[in-house]
């Protein structure tokens, strides 16, 4: 297991970080496989949430109208994650949105190392038809009862990452630096089949 890391997820009003806004941030802080702290808040996006997004996430305008803005949330969130390794599914989306807002409001950029469980899955498993979080959860029998709500997705990603860490451990990757090297090196892959894993 990694020594200490943060699993995070966000919900937004859409896919374009330049015009859409974050509506929810959730994160778990883990030491090994033990949860030691958590961060969770709805966020007032200061814009109307599109109907299709409310249908997907369940987050309504009424739910966020009295919540803090992203400018108010970011300092506490940055204090929560500190310099720990960040883990997210499709991390380029979550971290991209957070970095855009950090740069816009605080003139900062995340310097944390990060691991994307989607990309990690591609390095470990060669035969998945889809690497979406829902597909991986289905294959590994991980329940995500409130998919597309940030904390539920965080718990699902945490369980998925724990399974991946066990697979890496069983294949000789047992230290933080080994896991990070495996993740960062495009030439290193396990290419295991689903039948081998399940």
Q: Which CATH number does the domain housing residue 57 bear?
A: 3.30.420.10
Above pLDDT 90, what percent of the chain? Answer: 87
- Which residues face 88 on adjacent strands? 116
Confidence band of 197 (pLDDT split at 50, 70, 90): low
9-20 per-position pLDDT tens digit: 999 999 999 999
Domain span holding position 91: 4-197
Our count of domains for the chain comes to 1
Nearest one of 148, 157, 155, 86 to 117, comparing CA atoms = 157
Q: What is the Cα–Cα distance from 79 to 125, expressed in whole angstroms? A: 35
pLDDT at 161: 96
CA angle (48 as vertex; 44, 53 as ends), nearest 5: 95
Q: Identify the weakest region by mean pLDDT among 9-23, 47-61, 116-130.
A: 116-130
pLDDT at 1: 63
Predicted TM-score (pTM) of this structure: 0.94
Q: Is residue 152 scored above 90 in pLDDT? A: yes
Confidence band of 114 (pLDDT split at 50, 70, 90): very high
Catalytic center residues: 148
Confidence band of 193 (pLDDT split at 50, 70, 90): confident
pLDDT at 195: 55
Query: Beta-strand (E) ranges in the chain?
Result: 4-12, 22-31, 34-42, 85-88, 114-116
Q: Is residue 164 scored above 70 in pLDDT? A: yes
């Amino acid at each position: 297991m990694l020594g200490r890391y943060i699993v995070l997820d966000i919900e937004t009003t859409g896919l374009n970080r330049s015009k859409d806004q974050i509506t929810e941030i959730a994160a778990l802080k883990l030491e090994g496989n033990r949860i030691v702290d958590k961060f969770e808040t709805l966020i007032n996006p200061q814009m109307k949430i599109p109907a299709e997004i409310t249908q997907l996430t369940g987050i309504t305008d009424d739910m966020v109208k009295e919540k803090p803005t992203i400018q108010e949330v970011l300092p506490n969130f940055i204090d929560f994650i500190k310099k720990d390794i960040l883990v997210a599914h499709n991390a380029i989306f979550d971290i991209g949105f957070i970095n855009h807002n950090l740069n816009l409001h605080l003139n900062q950029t995340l310097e944390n190392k990060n691991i994307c469980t989607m990309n990690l899955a591609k390095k470990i498993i060669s035969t998945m038809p889809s690497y979406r979080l829902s597909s991986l959860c289905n294959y590994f029998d991980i329940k995500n009862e409130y998919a597309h709500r940030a904390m539920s997705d965080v718990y699902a990603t945490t369980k998925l990452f724990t399974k991946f860490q066990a697979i890496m451990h069983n294949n000789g990757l047992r230290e933080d630096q080994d896991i990070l090297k495996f993740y960062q090196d495009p030439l290193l892959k396990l290419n295991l089949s689903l039948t081998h894993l399940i």
